[in-house]
Amino acid sequence: MEIERLPAVLFIVFFLSTHWASGSYPRAQNVTWKSTNFKTILTWEPKPSANYSYTVEFSAVGRDSERTPHCIRSSTTVCDLSSSLTDLNAYYTADVLSEPPMGASSDLTEFPYTSSPRFCPYKETNISSPDFKLVVSKDKKKTTLHVTDPLTALFKDGRQLNIRDIFSDQLQYKVTYRKNKSTGKKEHKSKISVIELTDLDQGVSYCFSVQAFIPSRSIDKQLGEMSQTQCSNDDNQSIFEMYSVGVIVGAIFFILLLIGIIIAIAVFCYRRRTAAQGSGKEVSRQVI
């Protein structure tokens, strides 16, 4: 009988020891890095109750841990570390500690925590889609894309940095283009932000999309987000491609109406003239 009760006793002892070790502070879960254009945020779950809070400690691998003031005993589940990760090439880890709420105390000397995966801003931050302006030369022989380097969340000497300030000559742009209404695609890579394309058919509409390309990164992080597609004008477009059906039908109706009015006016003038001539001849006969 005593032997049968042993598993239950062990379970109770394990539960009590675990509960005592962690106090009333549940561990954070799903600790994740989210980063775009070096706007780097640590997120986790769940939202804490009024009985506990979260504190974030972070460090570059091999260095001492640090804390940022706005992520100490916080009731939120996010921590913006953009300006704290100063060495962009370093690998960072972060611990999310479950602690008493601000102003409260505890007998625990060590609080339960959950560690994040490693994260390197330079190699892993996502790059947003760039904006670009499309310019076709007057002779239709050259199409130029003027790409605007996306801004980052980082500043230096009071100036907001863009991705070229950080990646320098590592940054390229990949242009994907095709003839309008065609599915066949071509690609072109450029190391500069002013991209000239001269191998296009003259007078034909082409559609372009642009994304950042950083070849020094791992394959799954080389490409940034794709831009919106822009298309050049087509000098050889038919009227049905240039205008909607409603506009064409309206124009035809207007032309037919105008022709009808002209014919009606011409018929009216002709009849009036004929009537006038007939009246003139009748008057002449009466005089004779």
Residues 94 and 176 in one domain: no
Confirm whether 7 is domain-assigned: no
Per-residue pLDDT band at 27 (split at 50, 70, 90): very high
Residues 74 and 140 in one domain: no
Per-residue pLDDT band at 246 (split at 50, 70, 90): confident
CA 239 to chain centre: 35
Confirm whether 278 is domain-assigned: no
CA 11 to chain centre: 51
Last residue of a domain, one of 122, 154, 184: 122
Residues 78 and 152 in one domain: no
The dihedral through the CA atoms of 114, 120, 126, 132 has a sign that is positive
* C-alpha torsion 91→226→192→171, nearest 10: 10
**What's the pLDDT at 107?**
75
Q: If 0-12 CB within 10 Å is exposed, 13-18 middle and 19+ buried, where does residue 54 land?
A: buried
Nearest Cα neighbor of 170 from 213, 126, 112, 114 is: 213
Residues 207 and 228 in one domain: yes
Residue 144: CATH number of its domain: 2.60.40.10
Share of the chain above pLDDT 90, in %: 65
Q: Are 58 and 66 in contact (CB under 8 A)?
A: yes
pLDDT at 273 over 60: yes
Residues 196 and 223 in one domain: yes
Digit-coded pLDDT (tens) for 78-102: 999 999 999 999 999 999 999 999 8
pLDDT at 13 over 90: no
Confirm whether 15 is domain-assigned: no
pLDDT at 6 over 70: no
pLDDT at 237 over 70: no
| Total residues found in the chain within this entry | 288
Nearest Cα neighbor of 55 from 39, 34, 35, 76 is: 76
Q: Tell me the residue type at 249.
A: V
Q: DSSP states of 132-167 as a string? A: EEEEE-TTSS-EEEEEEPPEEEEEETTEEEEHHHHH
pLDDT at 109 over 80: no
Confirm whether 248 is domain-assigned: no
Residues 145 and 233 in one domain: yes
Confirm whether 261 is domain-assigned: no
Instruction: Cite the DSSP H helix spans in the chain.
Output: 2-22, 121-124, 163-167, 239-242, 245-287
Q: How many domains does the chain have?
A: 2
Residues 136 and 230 in one domain: yes
pLDDT at 288 over 70: no
Residues 148 and 112 in one domain: no
Confirm whether 184 is domain-assigned: yes
Residues 139 and 199 in one domain: yes
Domain extent for 73: 27-122
5 vs 56: which has the higher pLDDT: 56
Residues 150 and 227 in one domain: yes
Residues 118 and 139 in one domain: no
Residue 140 CB neighbours (<10 A): 15
pLDDT at 241 over 50: no
- What is the C-alpha to C-alpha distance for residues 35 and 230, in angstroms, rounded to an integer? 27
Q: DSSP states of 167-210 as a string? A: HGGG-EEEEEEEETT----EEEEESSSEEEE--SPTT--EEEEE
Confirm whether 257 is domain-assigned: no
Per-residue pLDDT band at 17 (split at 50, 70, 90): very low
pLDDT at 235 over 60: no
Residues 195 and 94 in one domain: no
pLDDT at 265 over 70: yes
Confirm whether 117 is domain-assigned: yes
Digit-coded pLDDT (tens) for 129-182: 999 999 999 888 899 999 999 999 999 999 999 999 999 999 999 999 999 988
